[in-house]
Amino acid sequence: MAHILQFSTKIGSIKMLNRFFSIIFLFFVWSSTSFAQFFEDGYTIKDVRNNIIWLRCTAGQTWDYDVNSCVGEIVKLNHEEVEIAKTQAAEQLGGTWRLPTLEELQSLVCEKCDKPKINEKYFPKISPEAYWTQTQNKFNSKMYWTVNFMTGHNYSRFFAYQQLPVLLVQDR
């Protein structure tokens, strides 16, 4: 009888270890899929996936703490005007601001969202159109990549002299 109990204990231990590792596995799967990319901080969003800070509002708009949203008219800029906007952001907010890379801006696309294809909880009042990135087309250096928040797709068909909306970022 003792031998049977010992055998049962081994099977019980194996089942317990199996459950333990299943729970650990589920915890890691759950934690990796529910990991938050964004943390709100007033007029900015901390993006822990890309290790940057986003201005929540498109250039031309300002953050209104009373309504917890962006207000004002969006200003479309060409690349020369973006340089002025980056300087103004640095003077008014501190730090060094820049255009996002294609990968950074593309990471904001929310496939399941209606138009605009972005989580409006974090980025309210985004215009459903193409936004500038700093990423140049490798095959035609006169053209830059954009991310279109109407479709969620990216395109490299805009020249630096064209005017498009802008979101600025700062490295953390």
Say which CATH number the domain at 54 has.
Answer: 3.10.100
Q: Please write down the long-range contacts of 51-54, taking CB distance under 8 Å and 24 or more positions apart.
A: 51/171, 51/172, 52/100, 52/104, 52/169, 52/170, 52/171, 52/172, 53/169, 53/170, 53/171, 53/172, 54/100, 54/108, 54/123, 54/167, 54/168, 54/169
Same domain, 22 and 48: no
Same domain, 49 and 79: yes
Find the domain containing 97 and state its range. Answer: 37-171
Q: Residue 36's pLDDT is what?
A: 81
Same domain, 71 and 115: yes
Indicate if the pLDDT at residue 6 is higher than 50.
no
Same domain, 88 and 135: yes
Same domain, 79 and 31: no
Share of the chain above pLDDT 90, in %: 79
Q: Residue 24's pLDDT is what?
A: 53
155: which strand partners? 146
Instruction: Determine the average pLDDT of the residues in 141-147.
Output: 97
Same domain, 58 and 90: yes
Q: Residue 4's pLDDT is what?
A: 45
Number of domains within the chain: 2
Same domain, 167 and 92: yes
Same domain, 58 and 143: yes
Instruction: Determine the average pLDDT of the residues in 132-156.
Output: 97
Instruction: Determine the average pLDDT of the residues in 20-26.
Output: 53
Indicate if the pLDDT at residue 128 is higher than 70.
yes
